[in-house]
Structure 1
Amino acid sequence: MADDSSQDKQLPASERKLRKAREDGQVVRSRDLGHFLVILAATGVLIALTPVWMERLQEQLHAGLRFDARSVANPDVMFERLGTWSSQALMMVVPFGLGVALASVAAAVLSGGWVMSFKVVFPKFGKLNPIAGVGNLLSKQQIIDALKASALGLIIGAVGAGVLYKVWPNLVDLLAKPLPSALADLGQLFKQVLMSMLLVLAAFALIDWPLQRFLFMQRMRMSHQEVKDEFKQQEGNVEVKQRIKQRMREMARKRMLAAVPTADLVVMNPTHYAVALKYDEASMGAPRVVAKGLDLLAMRIRDVATASKVPVLEAPPLARALYASTEVDAEVPMALYNAVAQVLAYVYQLKAALAGRAPLPGNLPDLQVPAELDPQHGKVVEAEA
């Protein structure tokens, strides 16, 4: 598809994609860095152990080239001598192999970090497709690797030829020297060759690691569609989340409307705000808001309260302050205690009058609502002016 083409993948890889690629074993790997560290480790082991090896080799040659008739006639003696030579040779090879192995592990860790993934060893039958294989041969990664390997081979060949031309007279002179001194000189010449190779590999490693990191990040680039899909996977489908939020709002609205018939009164503004209050002296420390709403929901709260014979009072400043400062199922703030107590007392007196136990109350007294709790206090003042 077009969304998966490399032309559309212009966005940098996200942390999630890089982490998933790392879990799959896809990290930055530099072959030249690995070659350099392996050759460096081999050179270090050789330089450190060459004197010991030369001494052991001279001893083995000195002992191995001496034969007598009794030793030759006795196979057990020859087998014992062969076992001794083999064990000594093995003790010489094992440190070299350990050094190279540790260098290989260090190269992998330095280039891409420590990664434990078995996905890379699983067979991928899709790679058996010859058409896809031809495409991979002509990919940017393969072309760069081929050019780099060719340049490395040419440079190492040129350096090797130069070093060989320089040490050729010394190599010829080795033929005329005694064997112990010839072996020692051969070791020195071999170290020169290794040091020359190290310099070339070090230069290529300094270039290859940033290059491999750049190519890796290019392969990890994402298209706009991939970014969207990843965002949906992480955050969830936006439409689904909106429907869930809408469903939650509807459920909360139904719970509030169901609580309106249990309220003691509803304070309105008179049409934009509606707040239902309830107070139970035995179970509540202060009056509590059981429902509140704006506009259409305010009208709905008023209709439910009227149908349930819950008193509805018009107190615009108090309604606005309660709506702005108090959540549903929360107690009213202390700053509104006095105003709420006045409206509750008015409602209780009105109920008593309707039941014939008290005279009808007069008009609702002026309520003292702090200006900072009324969200429209400044607008009301300007309108009155």
Structure 2
Amino acid sequence: MADQGAQDRNLPASERKLKKAREDGQVPRSRDLGHFGAIAAGLALMAAMAPAATGWMTRLLQSGLRFDAHTLSSTTSMAERMGELGTQFAWAMLPVGAVMVLVALASGLATGGWNFTLKPIAPKFSKLNPLTGLPRMLSADRLVDTLRSCVLALVIGLVGGYYLSQHVYGFAATLELPLPAALAQAGSDVLYGMVFLLLTLAVFAAIDVPLQRFQHAKRLKMSQQEMKQEHKENEGNVEVKAKVKARMREMANRRMLAAVPKADLVVMNPTHYAVALKYEEARGGAPRVVAKGADLMALRIRDLAKESAVPVLQAPVLARALYAHAELDREIPMALYTAVAQVLAHVYQLRAALVGQAPMPGVLPELPVPAELDPHNKPSTAPSAEAAE
């Protein structure tokens, strides 16, 4: 099952998984690049300091090889002298070591970037279990790293051995030279030998950097199921989102229906569309749409309007235009001002007639609704008779 799961992981890691991996301390690092950078910086610094270092080493050796009777007669004096010489040498090598450490850190940042986290050093008791640790030790990535380290050690040993075998007589000849010349010659031979080792490390670093990035990307690959699960977690469960949307629609419909009894009239297209309008003279502006719906919702708006004694007017073209182009709780479009004004005037006159304050209005005239606002008035694509002729 584990092999099957590994084979299914053929998709590149998502941004979320890469971010989580960085938080866990999983970033590509090349130790060979760090070794190469540190040794290269150390060699460059020593080469730049070679003239001064040769004179300093000469004086240090001359001082170390100068004894007197008091020093030879007391082991304590000899120990103090050796400690003093060792301290001087350590202080001289400290800048070189500091530069090598900084360059090694910079080399690590070059491959994986800056990533500060304490999770890799946090105690995990699962790592103490040999049953779970053994598969990690025998994984393909571990075997590749082990093989690469063995090959690197073997190649460095061969290069170093070959260089020593070719210069063994030169090293022996330095014993016959004066101390300053011997130090200069030995330093030059060691420097050239380190250059050959540095070239070897450069080749391995050039191979190791893309290899580490490839292995890192391979370890973080995802399967189709993992990608779907992550997408579901990012976007939220589809069923839950659908329920939330349904609940929000239900609440919006309740608020909309609660505004119907306060409307001035409801314009209907007998059974398909219903739009409730309200005009507030004190507020100014145009009439607002307080409710609208189609099919079953249109019937609910109609029934609620009749229960609340809100006039329901059959105006199919206007109802369709208002439903298609007017937004809820917003003023009607300017193109429908005249038609809605005629409808409201008709309703107000009808109300006045019912209480005996005005004559009964006649049949509602044809409303001036622009044809382009009626969604049922689609332009014909058939050629005209004159064009056909």
Common topology (TM > 0.5): yes
CA distance in 1, matches of 2:120, 2:330: 58
Aligned partners of 1:4 and 1:223 also within 8 Å: no
Give the counterpart letter for 2:22 in structure 1: R
Give CA-to-partner distance per residue, 1:270-302, whole Å, 9 cap, x none.
Answer: 211100000010024110000000111011111
2:377 — aligned with what? 377
Give the counterpart letter for 2:281 in structure 1: E
Q: In structure 2, the residue corresponding to 1:114 is in which secondary structure? A: coil
Give CA-to-partner distance per residue, 1:148-194, whole Å, 9 cap, x none.
Answer: 12221222222222211221221121122222211111101111111
Q: Which moved more, 1:163-172 or 1:323-332?
A: 163-172
Give CA-to-partner distance per residue, 1:41-88, whole Å, 9 cap, x none.
Answer: 221222122322221121122233334457778999978866753443
Aligned partners of 1:271 and 1:298 also within 8 Å: yes
2:6 — aligned with what? 6
CA distance in 1, matches of 2:381, 2:217: 62
1:257 — aligned with what? 257
1:36 — aligned with what? 36
CA distance in 1, matches of 2:33, 2:263: 77
Structure 1: gaps (5+ residues): none
Q: Which moved more, 1:159-168 or 1:265-274?
A: 159-168
CA distance in 2, matches of 1:42, 1:262: 87
Structure 2: gaps (5+ residues): 383-389
Give CA-to-partner distance per residue, 1:313-354, whole Å, 9 cap, x none.
Answer: 111111111111111110111111101000000000011111
CA distance in 1, matches of 2:123, 2:307: 73
Q: Structure 1 residues 243, 380: CA separation in 2 closer, same or farther (over 3 Å shift)? A: farther
Q: In structure 2, the residue corresponding to 1:364 is in which secondary structure? A: coil
After superposition, residues 225-374 of structure 1 pair within 5 angstroms as 225-374=225-374
Give the counterpart letter for 2:125 in structure 1: F
Aligned partners of 1:53 and 1:92 also within 8 Å: no
2:198 — aligned with what? 198
1:163 — aligned with what? 163
Give CA-to-partner distance per residue, 1:206-254, whole Å, 9 cap, x none.
Answer: 1111111111111001122222221222211111111010001011111
1:122 — aligned with what? 122
Give CA-to-partner distance per residue, 1:104-144, whole Å, 9 cap, x none.
Answer: 21121011000110111111221122122221222110111
Q: Structure 1 residues 219, 90: CA separation in 2 closer, same or farther (over 3 Å shift)? A: same
Q: In structure 1, the residue corresponding to 2:259 is in which secondary structure? A: helix
Aligned partners of 1:10 and 1:221 also within 8 Å: yes
Give the counterpart letter for 1:324 in structure 2: A
CA distance in 1, matches of 2:89, 2:29: 34
1:7 CA displacement: 1.9
2:386 — aligned with what? none
CA distance in 2, matches of 1:163, 1:359: 121
Matched, 1:188 2:188: yes
1:377 CA displacement: 1.4
Q: Structure 1 residues 43, 324: CA separation in 2 closer, same or farther (over 3 Å shift)? A: same
Aligned partners of 1:3 and 1:223 also within 8 Å: no
> How many pairs were matched up?
382
2:385 — aligned with what? none
After superposition, residues 208-223 of structure 1 pair within 5 angstroms as 208-223=208-223
CA distance in 2, matches of 1:79, 1:189: 32
CA distance in 2, matches of 1:113, 1:361: 82
TM-score by length of 2: 0.92
CA distance in 2, matches of 1:77, 1:60: 17
Aligned partners of 2:371 and 2:377 also within 8 Å: yes
CA distance in 2, matches of 1:2, 1:81: 64
Aligned partners of 2:31 and 2:108 also within 8 Å: no
CA distance in 2, matches of 1:75, 1:206: 52
Q: In structure 2, the residue corresponding to 1:328 is in which secondary structure? A: coil
Give the counterpart letter for 1:199 in structure 2: L
Q: In structure 1, the residue corresponding to 2:275 is in which secondary structure? A: strand
Aligned partners of 1:13 and 1:222 also within 8 Å: yes
Q: In structure 2, the residue corresponding to 1:175 is in which secondary structure? A: helix
1:91 — aligned with what? 91
Q: In structure 2, the residue corresponding to 1:7 is in which secondary structure? A: helix
Aligned partners of 1:3 and 1:225 also within 8 Å: no
Aligned partners of 2:288 and 2:331 also within 8 Å: yes
Q: In structure 2, the residue corresponding to 1:377 is in which secondary structure? A: coil
2:387 — aligned with what? none
After superposition, residues 42-61 of structure 1 pair within 5 angstroms as 42-61=42-61
1:137 — aligned with what? 137
1:102 — aligned with what? 102
1:4 CA displacement: 8.5
TM-score by length of 1: 0.93
Percent identity of equivalent pairs? 55
Q: Structure 1 residues 4, 371: CA separation in 2 closer, same or farther (over 3 Å shift)? A: farther
Give the counterpart letter for 1:360 in structure 2: M
